[in-house]
Amino acid sequence: DAVVVPLINCLTSFFAGFVVFSTIGFISYKTGIEIKDLSVTGPGLVFITYPEAIAQMPLAPLWAILFFAMLFLVGLDTQFGMVETVISGIIDVFPSQLRQHKTKVAFVVCLSGVLCDRFTDRYQGIRRFLGNIREMLGKVPFVWPWYAICWLFVTPSVILFIITFGLVQYSPVYYGDYVYPRWAEAVGWVMASVPLLMMPLIAIYLFVFKASGGLFK
């Protein structure tokens, strides 16, 4: 499953690219606007590009209703999967106290948002994680060295490169012809940074006050 699921996901995204870019090309042809000048990123793709393409189809109102209903259900289904994972993890940790209060737990988790998935995380080193895998599978997978290299070096390096490149290439935020003011960008950076800062702050707190082993452990 660890190989098949990502492979199917990549192939699905690749196939979806044909749909997206064929639609963008069609709109560019109909309007005479070059593709680089179209609003084809972020919300513009969903709320401007696709509605424009749907408007050219027969029974356009019907297809518009089906498209946005599908969009809503896909987002809702994604949230169900994420929230159910967090709820089950919390209840499994405290079954006797929380099992009869599942509705209340779900309410708290939904209000807590993206930070809730950190409640069931465990900050541990690569050796402990290897021990967990050996305990669950009864053996160490033959691809373990590759996974260890990716977790320890490749993935952090790639993420650091992407973040650095994004900061170097940063440009003012705009939507169509409207350029957002600096204060709006500052508010956005604060909103994006607060959830992310919780992870290093909690990690530092656990390492300084709670950890019993060294940094690698």
- pLDDT < 70 positions in the chain: 1, 38-44, 82, 113-125, 175-176, 195, 210-217
Contacts of 175 (CB under 8 A, 6+ apart): 39, 43, 44
Domain spans, the chain: 103-170, 180-216
pLDDT at site 16 = 75
d(CA 102, CA 98): 6
Asked if residues 213 and 206 have their Cβ atoms less than 8 Å apart, the reply is no
132 labelled ligand-binding:
no
SS3 assignment for 45-82: HHHHHHHHHHHCCCCHHHHHHHHHHHHHHHHHHHHHHH
pLDDT at site 40 = 64
pTM of the model: 0.42
pLDDT at site 175 = 67
9 labelled ligand-binding:
yes
d(CA 20, CA 30): 16
